[in-house]
Structure formats: structure tokens, C-alpha cells
Amino acid sequence: MSKHRHTLSVLVQNEAGVLSRLSGLFSGRGYNIESLTVAPTLDTAFSQVTIVTFGDDAVIEQISKQLNKLINTIKIVELPSEDCIDREFVLCKVAVKEETRSDILRIVEVSEGKVVNITPRLYTLQAIGNESQISTFIELLRPYGIKELIRSGKVVISRDNQFINAHK
Amino acid sequence: MMAEIETQIKKETLNGAKILLECLKKEGVDEIFGYPGGVLLGIYEELYHCDFIKHYLVRHEQAAIHAAEGYARVTGKAGVALVTSGPGATNTITGIANAYYDGYPMVVITGQVGSDQIGNDAFQEADIVGITRPCCKHNYLVKDIKKLPQTIKEAFHIATTGKPGPVVIDIPKDVVASKMEFNYPEKINLPGYNPNYTAHPKQCEKALELLCRARRPVIIAGGGTIPTEAFEELTELANKIGAPVTNTLMGIGAFPADNPLALGMMGMHGNFWANLAVSNCDVLFAVGTRFNDRITGCLKKFACDAKIIHIDIDPCSIGKNVRVDVPIVGDAKNALGTMLELFEAKKPNIHREDKQKWLNQITDWREKKAMPVTTTDKLHPQNVIEKIYEMTKDKDAIIATEVGQHQMWTAQLYKFNKPRRLVTSGGLGTMGFGFPAAMGAQVAQKDRLVFNIAGDGSIQMNIQELATCMEYNIPVKVAIINNGYLGMVRQWQEKIFNKHYSHTKISGPDFVKLAEAYGAKGIRVTKEEEIESAIQEAIDHDGPVFLDFIVEPFEMVYPWVLAGKPINQVLLTNECKGEDQ
């Protein structure tokens, strides 16, 4: 069976230790986590966790079942990329010289990014986009000297009227 | 209005310790196993005044947990243990993991250092919620007395429903001391916990059709048949369809061993014919089993030609190790009940002739039995266990075991016709489980005869509990199958590691003198003709007994499927293979 990346959106009770139960399950059972994002939902009694993981169908099925088995897990949805909108966020500090300044600004512009801080030698840039857009943004900047980079995990929302955390 | 206000004023406030005991009372708990300590002083103060809970002081916290599990196994109720923070709590891990693996209900209450000290490396502080997270069904740290009743209510609910398991409640010292009005909640609020009991009728119908049409069906009764009490339905369905039933170690007793359709235990040390039946069946109906490697052997060669139906209350068990054609998530009793109803409604053709041919085939395989391999004049361990069986079978005894050769011989030779009579550690394989578990079983069933069949290695792992048995007159009879070795490991070394008995020869104390030192009875047995009278003496003695059976050290457990081999490649003696034709 071939291995693929999968995005799981998990609605959990917003309680102490929940994230540890979840991540412990991955390490204890030898599952991969590529990225993990967690924040409270509109109703702060719950949190939405987005996990990008890797494995064949049987492994993903087990991950999903094991996550479901956690007492604090309310719901799990696996989101195929074609059915959802996914976004990541990146902040990076890039070295700036007189001769590279306009190139860097051009990259920020075409990537629909933003310059969020300026010092004489460093620009702090941000960009929002799907995974490949963010990766491209980084690759474009790399030759200019990325001094520091922080990339968020992925958040996803479905395109249709499937609701992961429904609000009335 | 005035009256309402008055009752509100009159309602007294209780401290956390008292509230804890009141909650336990509400859950029907009247016996607990425990060990005091610094942070538990408040709770033990209330226990001192408490007339509705009997507390058994064990000699090691691990034993408190095994005792609670033994209690749970024979009653179906949640066993309860109370231990202190730090080392008291960490000593419980093996017991908690054991109960989690085998799926028995338990609530473990651990004391914790004061809330303001948590995280500061205080004396006897351990992050027990963190430590137990992967080995219990759920756990709680109660930070506020207001949450204590709700937490206890939820803990018992989680422990006893779905696939049962242990729940840990960690209570800081200050929560025990603080006060509030006591109200036990009536409802639980667990939006993420809804175990599915009701099997899908369409799936049950598919399963029934497959079984009726099958020419060579086999039913596997796993440990899941025990807590769901699916025994009657299982027996009735097997009888109606005419399908033979094998069981896993954990499923022993779910199907009567004296039923002509019973194949006995399957797996690594299962019966030759049971393993062959599973390997050659065309429909395999698995009820409440995790398909552990000890029963499947080589997965690729497991029941290759069979359509597999699998009932389990835990969806994770389905499709984890073995491919499944008809998955049924639900309670075994419910699913089997639905299948029986469908059977009555439809009266399907069960193709009796085909099934009879299959049973005849299995009868032929039954001729291949494993026999003792040694021929010395020392006691044969198998004979000792068979004799225990003969002398206790009419007494509805509870038989606990430790882990190792004696455990497998017990599983093979003791014919259990009823569930909840065998208390043994299956999944985790915990040496030192049997004695405290037998103790807990005896506490739960005071009028029953309780034996613990042990090895001389295992018994030394929790032997201190003899003091507990003496203190409370818990008359467990311990039959030590004493071969001077860690026999099961020795057996593997003999077969696979060229008889290099690396650190498996083990000495022990003089068990008779040791028993006597504790004030118990000790009997040594070295001759065949003494076995019966010694067992009788143990049964007749009003109190705990250590029976020290000095047995042949080089006896082997057969049948034996070597790890990783297909289960139809069965070794029956040191030389003879009973391979599938």
C-alpha cells in the first residue's frame, strides 16, 4: 500500500493535557506528525487541532480510530486537499543590501506577502498561502540569505457545507 | 421558600476526603485496596471513621492494583485502589497497564502534592497523570474540589463502559482538605465518549449468512466475551449453527470446555486441532479479540482462505492486525443476540452435512496431543495441574495464575466451563500478577475456593502479599510449580539458543519455611503419591497455604508454535512436528 500525506482535523475538548494525549499517541504508536496546529474554536470549550501526517491507508485508519478513542476527542474529519482550503503562515528575516532590496520587495509583492518590520540590514517578511506557495516563497528568498524563519502548521477548512466545528 | 432556604443552610459542608468516600459509596464501592502516605493522611483520617468502606492494607502498591483487577475480573465491577503520591503512584504502573491491556474496569486514586507545589519537584511528587497517560483508559488531575464528584462519576462510567479499563484520578492534598457542600451529580457530560453497543443489523445479517453458508466455520471467543457477558448467546449460536468454538487465553470460560463443539485454546500454546481448524476454515468468526500475535502467529499465513467476521466494541481492534470482511462494531452480547433473532426469524439452511464433515475432520486432528517430554521420577508439572483441576472442578473454584509455563499448562489442562473463573494476565504478561489478583478475587468472592497456580519465579515478585492474606485471613491457596528455572524463557533458550541457560536458573527461599514465617501453612510435595493429599490438606486448611511442588525442571510446554511461524506449524514434542498436511 502506498504512503500518502493526510490532513486530519480533530475537534477536542479544550482541557489541560489534551494535546499531550494526542501527541503521545503518535509517538507511542510510531505514527508521524509532519505538522500540528491547535487553537480554541469560537466556542472556547473546544479546540481545533489540524494534523498533517504520513502513512498508508491502514495506518491512517488506525490513527483516526485511535484519536477517536481518546475520551476528549469529539470528532475527526479527514480532509482531502481537493475538498478544502488550507493555509500556512510564515515569518522570516532576510538580509537586505542596497542591490537586493528591490528584488526582495518584488518577491514579497508577487507572493502577496508583506514587509512587517524594517531594520537597516534586515527585513522581516510574512506570507500566507497554501503549502506550495509558502515553500516557493521561501525558496525564492533563500539565495538572499534567510537569517531566521518560522513557519506555522497548516489550518484547513472544508469548501462545502461540511462543518468540522459547527456553530449555530 | 423559607423551607428551601433552611435546607440550604442546614446542608453541611464536607471536606474532599469525606466527599471522595461518599462518592465511592454512591458508586457501590465497599472494599478498596490501598497504602497510605503523606498526602493521603486526610483521606486515611476519614477512612478511620468510615463504616461503609473496608480498606485492605497491601504490602506493595503494585499488589493493590492487581488485587483491584482480580476483584474486577470475578465480579465485573470496577476494582478500586488508593495509593499515595510519588513512589506510591509510580508503583502502580504495571498494574494499570495490565488492566488496560486486558480490559478490566478499575478506578485508581492517587494522592498528589499540594496544588501550589505541583511542578516544583516537591517531596514525593510524580507527574502520574503524565506517566499513566498511555497506559490507562483515561485520567484526571482534580485541581478544584468542585470538580471532584463529577470526576469520580465520570471515572466510574468510563472504567465500566465500552471496552472497560483503568481510570486514574490524581487528587492534590489541598483538594482533599478543602470543603464544600456535597452533591453527587446525576448526569455525566462526556461529549467525546459514546461507545457503540448496538451492532449494525445489516452487518449481523451478513455475518449470519456467511456462517450458515460456511462449510468449515470456526468461532474464536476472545476476552471481549467476558465483560459483555455474551456467554449464553455465544453457546446458543454455536450450537444452532453447529460451528466449533476455540478461545484465546483471555476468552477461556466464555464457552464451556465440555461442550462437544469446544476446541479449547488456540495460538502459540493452543491445541493442535484448534490451530488447524483456524488455519483451514472458510469462515472465521472472531468475537471480542484483538488478534494478538500470540494467537495469529505469522499474519500473512493466518486463516488465508477464510472470510473473516470480527465483532469488537473497540473499533481500533478491527482491521488493526488482520484484514476483516465483515466488521461489526458493538457489544458482543448485543451482536450475537441480534444474530440469534435473525436466525429464529429466517430459519436459514445451515448446511449441516458439510459442517459435520468439518467436525469429523477436526476430530481426526484431535488425535495429535502434546505429552510431557521428560521421563524422570520427579513430579510432572502437568500432573500437578491436572490433579488440582480434578480436585477443584466441582467446587466452582477461581483459578489465578502468574505468567509462564505453569500459566500455559493451566490454560491447556484446567477445563473451565464458566467465565470469570480464570484470572490471568494475558496481554501484558505480568509476572507477579497472580497472587495479588487471587487475593482480590478472594476478597470479592469470600465463599469460593481460590487457587493461584504460580511458578517459583513469578511468586517471588509479589510474595510479600502473604502478610496481607494473613492479616485479613484471605485463604488463597498458592500452588508453586517449582522447577528452579524461569521455565518459559528457559524453554526458548533450550530450543532456540542452544541450551544456553543465560540467567534463567533461579533460586528461591524455602517456601514452606517462608509460609510458616508469615504464619501461613506450607506444604512441600516431591512425590506423585503426595499430590492429592497435599491439595486436600490445602483445601481443608482455613487460611492461606503455600504448596511447594518440586517438579521436573526440563519439562516443556507443548504444543508450541515458534514466534513468527504460522499457527499450523505446531511442535508437539521435542522431536515431533504436527504440521499441517
- The conformation of residue B380, written as its DSSP 8-state character, comes to P
**Distance (Å) from the C-alpha of residue A124 to the closest C-alpha of chain B?**
37
CATH topology of domain B14-181: Rossmann fold (3.40.50)
A1 CB near a chain B CB, below 8 Å? Answer: no
Q: Is the dihedral of CA B86, B90, B95, B97 positive or negative?
A: positive
Cβ of B141 within 8 Å of Cβ of A17? The answer is: yes
Residues B374 and B329: their CA atoms lie apart, in Å, by 46
pLDDT at B4: 61
**Residue B168 pairs with which residues in a beta bridge?**
B108, B139
Q: What confidence tier does A104 reach under pLDDT thresholds 50, 70, 90?
A: very high
In one-letter notation, the amino acid at residue A11 is L
Cβ of A62 within 8 Å of Cβ of B320? The answer is: yes
Residues B253 and A23: their CA atoms lie apart, in Å, by 38
- Residue-averaged pLDDT of chain B: 96
- Residue-averaged pLDDT of chain A: 93
Name every chain A residue with its beta carbon within 8 A of the beta carbon of B312: none
Domain limits, chain A:
4-78, 84-155
Q: Mapping DSSP to helix (H, G, I), strand (E, B) and coil, where does residue B523 land? A: strand
Cβ of A16 within 8 Å of Cβ of B141? The answer is: yes
Query: Would you say B155 and B140 are in contact if contact means Cβ atoms under 8 Å apart?
Result: yes
C-alpha cell at B459: 511468586
Helical ranges in B347-501 per DSSP H: 352-365, 381-392, 405-413, 434-444, 465-471, 487-496
Pairing mode of beta strands A155-158, B422-423: unpaired
Cβ of B315 within 8 Å of Cβ of A69? The answer is: yes
pTM comes to 0.95
Structure confidence by residue, pLDDT tens digits, B148-176: 999 999 999 999 999 999 999 999 999 99
Measured in residues, chain A has a length of 168
Query: Would you say B287 and B234 are in contact if contact means Cβ atoms under 8 Å apart?
Result: yes
**How many other C-beta atoms lie within 10 A of the C-beta of residue B427?**
18
Domain limits, chain B:
14-181, 201-365, 381-550
**Domain A4-78 matches domain A84-155 at the CATH topology level:** yes
**DSSP element (H, E) containing B284:** strand B283-287
pLDDT at B268: 97
**How many other C-beta atoms lie within 10 A of the C-beta of residue B72?**
31
A58 CB near a chain B CB, below 8 Å? Answer: yes
Residues B72 and B78: their CA atoms lie apart, in Å, by 5
Superfamily of the domain at A4-78: ACT domain (3.30.70.260)
Q: What angle in degrees, to the nearest 10, is found between the helix axes of B231-241 and B332-346?
A: 40
B158 CB near a chain A CB, below 8 Å? Answer: yes
Q: What angle in degrees, to the nearest 10, is found between the helix axes of A131-141 and A101-110?
A: 170
In one-letter notation, the amino acid at residue A112 is E
Q: What confidence tier does A79 reach under pLDDT thresholds 50, 70, 90?
A: confident
Residues B288 and B419: their CA atoms lie apart, in Å, by 14
Structure confidence by residue, pLDDT tens digits, B274-300: 999 999 999 999 999 999 999 999 999
Q: ipTM score of the complex?
A: 0.90
**How many other C-beta atoms lie within 10 A of the C-beta of residue B127?**
15
Q: What confidence tier does B43 reach under pLDDT thresholds 50, 70, 90?
A: very high
Helix %, strand %, coil % of chain B (to 5): 40, 20, 40
Q: Mapping DSSP to helix (H, G, I), strand (E, B) and coil, where does residue B33 land? A: strand
Is the pLDDT at B577 greater than 70, yes or no? no
Cβ of A65 within 8 Å of Cβ of B315? The answer is: yes
Structure confidence by residue, pLDDT tens digits, B192-235: 999 999 999 999 999 999 999 999 999 999 999 999 999 999 99
**How many other C-beta atoms lie within 10 A of the C-beta of residue B67?**
33
Q: What confidence tier does A166 reach under pLDDT thresholds 50, 70, 90?
A: low
Phi, psi of B8 (to 5 degrees): -65, -40
Is the pLDDT at B349 greater than 90, yes or no? yes
- Cell 490438606: give the residue: B537
Domain B381-550: give its CATH architecture: 3-Layer(aba) Sandwich (3.40)
Q: Which of residues 5-34 of A touch B (CB under 8 A)?
A: 12-13, 16-17, 20-21, 24-25, 28
Superfamily of the domain at B201-365: TPP-binding domain (3.40.50.1220)
Tell me which of B35-44, B99-108, B370-379 is least confident.
B370-379
Q: How many CB pairs under 8 A join A and B?
A: 38
Percent of chain B with pLDDT strictly greater than 90: 94
Query: Would you say B537 and B520 are in contact if contact means Cβ atoms under 8 Å apart?
Result: no
| Residue B277 Cα distances to A1, B208, B238, B260, B274, angstroms | 30, 19, 15, 15, 5
Supply the CATH classification number for the domain A84-155. 3.30.70.1150
C-alpha cell at B91: 508503583
Q: What confidence tier does B581 reach under pLDDT thresholds 50, 70, 90?
A: very low
> Does B164 sit behind a cis peptide bond, omega within 30 degrees of 0 on the bond before it?
no
Report the residue from A25, A61, A74 with minimal CB separation from B192. Answer: A74
